[in-house]
Amino acid sequence: MTEILAFYDYIESNPQMTDTCICLWHALMYQANKTGWKREFSVAISTLELRTSLKRNAIYTARNKLKQFGLIDFNERTGNLSSIYTINSFVSFKQTQDETQPQTQTDTQGETQPQNINKQNKTKRKNKDDEINSVDLLFDEIWVLIPSHKNDRKSKVGKERKKELAKYGYEKIKAACENYLKTQNPQYLHRRDNFFNEIIDNYLNQNFEKTEDEWSDYVT
């Protein structure tokens, strides 16, 4: 119960936590409880699908987010073996904070100018890391909007391209994906890396509407 209360305190200060992440966290907590709170435990994706009513791709996306948030860790195994999960305890983290806080306060007394500069540099790096994480999280969400292709190469979508896509926002990209799927034969879908690198621009609302207008001119 203490972990659950701490989890919801965390959610209140982290509004980017999605419903799917919350649902998956509870399912993993249930599994950890069943194992007698072992630090590491395994659970099949099919079991998580049954307990959460989430689709497989949604579970993959949610668990990647939970890992990036530092709430869980997992290791995938080859073959038919289930992944190994670890849930990071909120209580242990808070106890560590409480134990180190008095010493930290003592150490920071008489802080010098170089230390201030180091702190500013760390803040800048953290902000940059947060920006990168948010871009990666968005890309993980839009990647699953297009059906998978056997030759997909997710790594071929570079950092700069991800930043360009992030400027459009999730809803606009989702609409572009829907436009693409409406007009494309399912048997001839492009690789997802090709779609997000080159093709999606043709299916963003403005361009897609223009294309529809051009077709209507030919029809009339």
Question: pLDDT tens digit string along 126-139?
Answer: 555 555 567 888 88
Who wins on pLDDT, 101 or 8? 8
pLDDT of residue 12: 85
Given a cut of 70, is residue 13 above it in pLDDT?
Answer: yes
Average pLDDT of every residue of the chain: 80
pLDDT of residue 218: 41
pLDDT of residue 194: 93
Lowest model confidence (mean pLDDT) among 2-6, 64-68, 156-160, 207-211: 207-211
> Could you say which of 1.10.10.10, 1.20.140.10, 3.40.50.1370, 1.10.3720.10 is the CATH number of the domain covering 2-91?
1.10.10.10
pLDDT of residue 219: 42
Who wins on pLDDT, 90 or 184? 184
- Chain centroid to Cα 174, Å, comes to 16
Q: What is the mean pLDDT of residues 160-166?
A: 89
- 34, β-bridge pairs: none
pLDDT of residue 4: 81
Provide the pLDDT confidence category of residue 220 given band limits of 50, 70 and 90.
very low
Who wins on pLDDT, 45 or 204? 45
**Contact partners, residue 72, CB within 8 Å, separation at least 6:** 25, 28, 63, 66, 85, 86, 87, 88
CA terminus-to-terminus distance, the chain: 66
pLDDT of residue 123: 59
| pTM of the model as a whole | 0.43
pLDDT of residue 193: 94
Domain boundaries, the chain: 2-91, 112-219
- 84, β-bridge pairs: 42, 75
Q: For 15-66, what is each residue's pLDDT tens digit?
A: 888 999 999 999 999 999 898 988 899 999 999 999 999 999 999 999 999 9
Q: What is the mean pLDDT of residues 160-176?
A: 89
Pairing of strands 41-42, 72-75: unpaired
Sheet containing strand 72-75, strands side by side: 41-42, 84-87, 72-75
- Chain centroid to Cα 180, Å, comes to 23
